[in-house]
């Protein structure tokens, strides 16, 4: 697979990576959570309960680990997101992960929920993790039913033809193969870990029209659309969900790339 030029790699797009905090409350309200089984397996596969949550955002992943008895510190580049997470009781330090100073601290697990594509995959891999500790990088992969995918793809083509989004290609974890491969390759290049593994956890959620439209502006790049284009897109997607009876089921696969740091 050809390697993207550095300027095209997601972690170089700080304008998008740090745009989500423009509406932190919406992001926290609408973004999908992670299955309990995922959190439990990562925690059980780590040597202790000290967890560093990279790109903690509003604290969605960090709070899930804390609910499972972990002590969590977050690192977050967007001060607005960090402030929101702190309001929910998480300790958060503001920095990009590559520039963050661990100040001699080491953790039993370093986790990253739906953010590692914004991190340099090699420079970020071997940071603040004690020997025997677990690096766990995870994403929720969409897999809409065929009729949902067709309707959403048509809505994007009509409203934002200059921002094509083909939901027919959202095929669950297969759609994240490139992201996962990049993460695993970065782990290997760091030369500090055993061979990466991939874990998968499947789950489903039913969305109402209002719930789905509330989440759409939090997708990458959507917050940068002109207001009239975003309104047109939301209108088209709303019509599509109405045609489905006002709600639909989305299938997710939470995919994890994980490795243990060598002694």
**52 touches 111 (CB < 8 A):** yes
Tens digits of per-residue pLDDT, 244-261? 999 999 999 999 999 999
Tens digits of per-residue pLDDT, 100-124? 999 999 999 999 999 999 999 998 9
Mean pLDDT within 158-182? 94
Q: Is the pLDDT of residue 188 over 80?
A: yes
Q: Is the pLDDT of residue 68 over 90?
A: yes
Exposure of 19 in the CB half-sphere (CA atoms within 13 A): 14
Q: What is the pLDDT of residue 7?
A: 44
For the chain, give the percent of residues with pLDDT over 70: 92
Q: What is the pLDDT of residue 221?
A: 86
Which candidate, 113, 57, 64, places its Cα nearest to that of 87? 57
Q: What is the pLDDT of residue 20?
A: 59
Confidence tier at 5 by pLDDT (50, 70, 90): very low
β-pairing, 107-113 vs 247-260, is unpaired
Report the C-alpha gap between 102 and 54 in whole angstroms. 12
Q: What is the pLDDT of residue 18?
A: 55
> What are the backbone angles phi and psi of residue 257, rounded to the nearest 5°?
-105, 125
Q: Is the pLDDT of residue 1 over 90?
A: no
Tens digits of per-residue pLDDT, 122-165? 989 989 999 999 999 999 999 999 999 999 999 999 999 998 89
Q: What is the pLDDT of residue 203?
A: 97
Q: Is the pLDDT of residue 8 over 50?
A: no
Report the C-alpha dihedral over residues 40, 260, 90, 75, rounded to 10 degrees.
-150
- The chain-wide mean pLDDT, for the chain, equals 92
pTM beyond 0.75, yes or no: yes
- The total number of residues shown for the chain amounts to 263
Q: Is the pLDDT of residue 168 over 50?
A: yes
Report the C-alpha gap between 132 and 155 in whole angstroms. 48
Tens digits of per-residue pLDDT, 18-41? 555 578 999 999 999 999 999 999
């Amino acid at each position: 697979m050809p390697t993207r030029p550095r300027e095209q790699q997601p972690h170089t797009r700080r304008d998008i990576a740090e745009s989500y905090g423009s509406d932190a409350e919406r992001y926290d309200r609408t973004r999908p959570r992670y299955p309990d089984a995922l959190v439990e397996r990562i925690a059980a596969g780590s040597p202790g309960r000290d967890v560093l949550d990279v790109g903690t955002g509003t604290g969605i992943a960090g709070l899930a680990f804390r609910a499972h008895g972990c002590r969590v510190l977050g690192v977050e580049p967007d001060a607005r997101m960090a402030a929101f997470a702190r309001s929910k009781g998480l300790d958060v330090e503001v920095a990009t992960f590559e520039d963050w100073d661990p100040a001699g601290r080491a953790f039993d697990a370093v986790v990253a929920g739906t953010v590692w594509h914004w991190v340099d995959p090699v420079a970020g891999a071997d940071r603040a993790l004690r020997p025997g500790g677990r690096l766990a990088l995870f994403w929720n992969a969409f897999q809409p039913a065929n009729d949902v995918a067709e309707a959403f793809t048509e809505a994007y083509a009509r409203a934002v033809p200059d921002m094509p989004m083909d939901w027919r290609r959202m095929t669950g974890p297969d759609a994240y193969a490139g992201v996962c491969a990049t993460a695993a390759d970065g782990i290997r290049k760091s030369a500090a870990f055993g061979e990466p593994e991939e874990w998968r956890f499947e789950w489903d959620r039913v969305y109402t029209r209002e719930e789905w439209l509330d989440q759409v502006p939090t997708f990458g790049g959507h917050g940068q659309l002109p207001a009239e284009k975003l309104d047109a897109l939301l209108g088209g997607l709303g019509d599509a969900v109405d045609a489905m009876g006002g709600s639909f089921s989305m299938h997710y696969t939470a995919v994890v790339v994980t490795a243990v740091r060598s002694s």
